[in-house]
Structure 1
Amino acid sequence: MTTTESNSNYDNLHTMGTEELLTSMNEEDQSVPLAVARSIDQITPLVEEITESMKQCGRLFYIGAGTSGRLGVVDASEIPPTYGLPQNRVIGIIAGGDRAIRQSVEQAEDDPNQAWEDMKVFGARAGDTVIGIAASGRTPYVLGGLKKANQNGLNTGCIVCNEGSMIAAEATYPVEVVVGPEFVTGSTRMKAGTATKLVLNMISTAVMIKLGHVKGNKMVDMQLSNAKLIDRAIRMLMSEIPVDRSEAEQMIHQYGSVRNAIDHYKA
């Protein structure tokens, strides 16, 4: 039996009061960052490989099913507005297609050939990187996708929550975050899902920083798509160069990003 399917450390959940349920779940959740910390040595080479690949115009794909697939889609969708990359540089693919983001398409994860077909729609090619996401470490959709990716010269990584899995064995850069039994036995949307989200945050954020999309601690390439982000950009610009708010606002509207405004000021 895999760790993620092993029996919960808690029993008789149906008899617990609300506060006891919440406290017990919180206690379990506190173990997740510690599990992620133990995997940093595995995450590091994956980040470095993705960075070098993307410097050479490679793209990053996430493939997964269910919760794992949804987490990949979320991470990919947040890169363009946060760091200003085009939509097709980080691509999240979920088994069952976009409908599966909102509705369960359970059988979709059992097809070992479909992930590569889904990636081919985006022109997946040698030099790209694909990260297979599967808490169990055995999802056929993900395993088959990584096999095909390896055969076609892509760089491969994975995020799994069990040791010694088939998916980790297939990936060149495996990341194994062993979070232990779930509070509700087998419900990997809980601790495993949280661990996966944390690792995805770490990977994509570290890569974007290393690619130069952060200056100091500021997102200088973020898309200015709403009033909150425009206000943030104005404040960022004022902290970087000696201009008042009115001047900063004018520059942001004129040049379209914090980076461009700074570059034009210093030119």
Structure 2
Amino acid sequence: MKLISFDALRTLHFPSTHYIKPDCYLQHDAEIESADWLLFPEYWQLNVLHYAYKKRIFPSPASYALGHDKVEMTRAFMAVAPEHVPFTLIHGNSPEKADEIWQKMPRPFVAKIPKSSMGEGVFLIESLADWHQYCLQTHVLYAQEYLPIDRDLRIVVIGDKVVGGYWRVQAENGFHNNIARGGTLLEGPLPESAVELVLKLAKTLGIDHAGFDIAMIGHYPFVLEFNRMFGTQGINKIIGDTTPMILEYLNAAMNDEDQPEDPDDPNGSTPKGRRVRKPAIAA
């Protein structure tokens, strides 16, 4: 299996992987053409690698597209499992919409900057002053029901499987559960209902590399978000090196794709990951 990586650190333990600097990728046409998989490209590379080169990409294009923006992510969750999404209001930022959200949301509530991660850009709104300060920082207003929890779950999906997870206990000096923001990692069993929800979301949306954040209210799971490039601090401790899991998935996915199609099927198509060059038309 020929692998090209655009993230040397993420693929440090991958065997026989050729690293290309993202800024130089268009200078390596032949290598990209011959690769079986392109691993961990930058977000801005995705469209060219997917639509122009038509290559297999890991994480999946859906993992990139939905993981890049909390607005698109939340709307996708609402489409697949609306009963598991906290009450959320999303609008373009205007004085009228800001006032509308303020009137509708029970307080306290959570406000988020759509393109943020690691707990950054997440605010607890307790007063009108808090709300006004948040509104000055974003073009899109994202307000979500505050859930009365002191911990949440990080459940990790690789390929088409949940490979593990852990609890994240809230930091003493705030309401963030993120390890990067002072949250504490806690081992423990993963509730079956949470695992089932994550698998449903991941499989329906085509997400194959993500850390899903799940809040449990009693035995009922609510999905908060997922992170395509989740931190490895807790993962390495609880699950171990994920390299073999990723390689197993890549091999299986490629083998499934390359199964010969029915020669009598008139709808047979070019296998994914193959760019077909049309012959030049003679003058």
TM-score bracket for the superposition, by shorter chain length: under 0.3
Q: Which has the higher strand share?
A: 2
TM normalised by structure 2 equals 0.23
Q: Which has the higher contact order (CA 8 A, sep 6+)?
A: 1
TM normalised by structure 1 equals 0.24
Q: Which has the higher helix share?
A: 1
